[in-house]
Chain A
Amino acid sequence: MTEDAVAESGSREPVMRVEGITKSFGAVKVLRGVDLHLEAGEVLGVVGANGAGKSTLVKIITGYEVPDGGQMYLDGKPVQLRSVQDARSHGIETVFQDLALVDQLSVYHNLFLNREMTTGGRLRFLNNRRMRDDARRYLHDIQVDIPSVDVPVEKLSGGQRQAIAVARATRRDDVKILLLDEPLAAMGAREAKLIIDLVQSLAKKRGVSMVVIDHNYTHIFELCDRVNVVEQGRVVLDKRTKDTSLAELTEFMVSSYRQQIEEDSA
C-alpha cells in the first residue's frame, strides 16, 4: 500500500499542503499565515504553546472552520473545504481536542455519528444491530477495553472516551489523512501505548498520513517523522525528528518563549 502510494505520486506532491492560512476570531488574529505540508505516509508532529493556534489549524484542515485567507492543496490540487463532510469525502479524519463525543449517546452511536448504517433507503432507518456488532468487533480488534458498546459515553473514563474518539477516526478503511489533536492527553501509559501502536500501524501498513498535536515531546519523537513548531499563528520551525533532539526542541521552545516575554515587555 505504502509502496504503491509512493510509486503513484512519482512527482512527490505532498498529500496535503496549506499556504498562508489566516484566521481571526473577532479582533483576535489566531493564524497569521500558516505554511505547512504533509508528505504521503508521513507522521507530522505539531507543537506549540497553549493558544498558539494548533487546534484552529486542525479545524480548518478538516473543514469545520473556514479560513479567512490562504489556500489548501490535496495531492497538489487546490481545494476549498466547505464542511466536515466535504473533508471526509477527501479521506480526512479528525480526532478533535474536545473529542466530539455526545455524552448521552451510546458508544456505538458515537462511533457511527453522522455515518450511521441505515436501511430503508432515503428514509434512513438506523441499522442499530449492524452498528453495534461492527463497533464491538472493531473495538475488540484494536483492543480498546470498555464494558459494553451500549453504555452512554458519559459513563466511560477520560482515557476510554479518548480511545473511542480515536477509534471513530480510524475505523474507515479509506482514511488518507488523519488529524490527531492531543490524542493521548488523558491516557494512562498502557492505553497511550495502545493508541501509539494503532497510529503507527496505520501509518506503516495503510500508508495513512498524519498530523499529531501533542504537548508531550517524548510522544512526538516516538511517533513522528517530522516536527513543526507553531508560534503565534505561524510555523516557525520545521525539522525532521532524526535531525533534531528532545533537548534541542525543548531549548528552542524555551528560548522563543523568553524572547516573546521580552518583546511583550518592551
Chain B
Amino acid sequence: MRGKFWQSRLLQGQELVIALIGVALAIFFGVYSSAFSSVSNLSTLSSYVAPIMIVGIAEVFVLTLGEIDLSVGEVYVLSPFLVVYLKDAGLGVVAGTIVTLLICAAIGCINGLITVHLGVPSFITTLGTVFALQGIVLLSSNGIQINPAGAGTIANVLGGWTYSSILWALAIAVLGYVIFRRTTFGLHITAVGGNQTASGESGIKVGAVKVWCFVLCSLLGGFVGLLDGYRIGSLNPGTDGLVLMFYGVAAAVIGGTALTGGRGTMIGAAIGAIVLGVLEDGFNIIGINAFAYQLVLGLAILGAMVLNVQLELVRSGKGGGVYGSFARLVLRSRRAGRRPQEQGSS
C-alpha cells in the first residue's frame, strides 16, 4: 500500500506541475478579461483543446516506444475527404466512416511495418507518409474546398454539436489511460520503449507492440479529422497537418511523456492539451498581436518542456542548473509528507 502511494505520487508529479501551470494561466486570463470566463468561451476553448488532446493521446502511444508519428496530422486532413469520396462512390455515410477509419488504421499499420521490418527510423518513415498523404489530398481534391459528407445526427455526434468533440476527447483520454496503465498491452508499450532487448528476451513480441501503437495513433488521427471536419463544416485540402501534430507532441511532452521512450502518461497529455488550449484561447482573447502570440506560445512550450526534463533529471539525481533548482523545490515540497525510507535515491 505504502509503495503504491509512493509510485503514484511520483507519476502524478509531472502531471501535477503542468496542471498547476494550467490553473495559473486560466486564473490569469480570467482576471485579465471577463470574456475568458464566459460560457460562450467554453465552447471556443473546447474546440481548441479537443483535437490537441486526442492527437496528444495518440502520440503518447508511439512516443513511449521512443518512436514518433509525424503523419498523424496528415491523416487528420485526409480522413474527412475519404468519407466524401466513399459517399460519392455509393457508400452510406456510416459505412464510409467505418471504412475511412479502417484506411487510417491501415496507414498506421504501414508506418509501423516499415519502421519495424525495414528498420527505417519512424521519424523518416512518417515524414515520407506526410508528403505522400499531402499529395493524395491535393490530387484527389484538386485543391478545392468541399463540404463534409454527413449531416444531421451523425454530423452532430461526430463533432457537429458544440461539445461533442471535447466529450469524445475526454472519453478517448480515459480509454487511453485504461489501455496504457491497466492492460498488459499498455505495460508492454512502456517495456518496449524502456528496453527493447529486455522486452524481446522476455518474449514480448516487440514488433507487434510497435505496429499496434502506430495503428492506434493513425486511427485516432483519422477520427479527430472527422470531428474537426463536422465542427468546422468545410474541408480544406490546404490545411497544414503538421501544426496539429506538433501541438499533440507538445501536449504529450509537457505532460510528462519522454521523447526518448520508456515513460508516458495519458493524463499528462490530456492536461498538456488543456494548457495549450488555454494559452491559445487566452492569447486570442486578450488580443495579443498574432506574431507576438507565436513567440510567446513558443517560449511557453519551451519553458514547460525544460521544466519537465529538469524534473526528471533531478528525480534521477542528475539535475542541475537554474530550472533544476526550481524543479528541486517542486519535488521537495511534494516529498514533505513522505516517510524517510521512501525518499532515498533522489
Say whether A and B bind each other. yes
Residues in chain A within 8 A of chain B (CB atoms): 64, 83-85, 88, 94, 96, 98-106, 109, 113-114, 116, 118, 123-126, 132, 147-151, 154-155
Query: Are A98 and B197 also in contact (CB < 8 A) when A83-B203, A155-B344 are?
Result: yes
Residues of B within 8 A of A123 (CB): 183
Beta-carbon contact of B184 and A105 below 8 Å? no
CB < 8 Å: which of B6, B203, B345 contacts A84? B203
Knowing A113-B191, A124-B183, A124-B184 are in contact, say whether A155-B198 is a contact too (CB < 8 A).
no
Taking a contact as CB atoms under 8 Å apart, the answer to whether A103 and B7 are in contact is no
Residue in A closest to B344 when the chains form the complex, CB atoms? A147
> B188 contacts the other chain (Cβ, under 8 Å)?
yes
Interface pair A148/B203, CB less than 8 Å apart = no
Interface residue ranges of B2-26 to A (CB < 8 Å): 2-4, 6-7
Residue of B nearest to A83 (CB): B203
B positions within 8 Å CB-CB of A: 2-4, 6-7, 182-188, 190-191, 193-195, 197-204, 262-263, 316, 341-342, 344-345
Q: Are A118 and B184 in contact (CB under 8 A)?
A: yes
**In the complex, which residues of chain A have a beta carbon less than 8 angstroms from the beta carbon of B3?**
132, 148-151
| A interface majority secondary structure | loop
Q: Evaluate whether A124 and B191 lie within 8 angstroms (CB atoms) in the complex, with A100-B201, A100-B202 already known.
A: no
Known contacts A88-B203, A105-B191, A100 near B198 by CB under 8 Å: yes
User: Among the listed A64, A106, A125, A150, which residue makes an inter-chain contact with B182, where contact means beta carbons less than 8 Å apart?
Assistant: A125
Interface of B is mostly: helix
Partner of B4, one of A99, A100, A118, A132: A132
**Known A-B contacts A101-B195, A123-B183, A148-B2; A106 and B202 likewise in contact (beta carbons under 8 Å):** no
Our pick among A83, A96, A106 for the contact of B7 (Cβ within 8 Å) is: A106
CA distance A101 to B183 in the complex (A): 19
A64 touches B187 (CB 8 A): no
Which 6 A-B pairs rank lowest in CB-CB distance, beginning with the nearest? A150-B3, A84-B203, A100-B201, A104-B194, A100-B198, A124-B184
Instruction: Give every chain B residue within 8 A of A124 (Cβ-Cβ).
Output: 183-185
Inter-chain contact B202/A150, CB cutoff 8 Å: no
CB distance from B311 to the nearest CB of A (A): 15
What's the least CB distance linking A132 to chain B, in Å?
7
Q: Of A88, A116, A132, A151, which is within 8 A of B187 by CB?
A: A116
Q: Are B183 and A103 in contact (CB under 8 A)?
A: no
* Distance in Å: Cβ of A65 to nearest Cβ of chain B: 10
Report A150 CB to chain B, min CB distance, Å.
3
Contacts of A83 in B (CB 8 A): 203
Instruction: Kindly provide the distance from the CB of B268 to the nearest chain A CB, expressed in whole angstroms.
Output: 15
Contact of A114 among B188, B194, B263, B344 (CB under 8 A): B188
Check A103/B182 contact, CB under 8 A, given A88-B203, A114-B203. Answer: no
CA distance A151 to B203 in the complex (A): 23
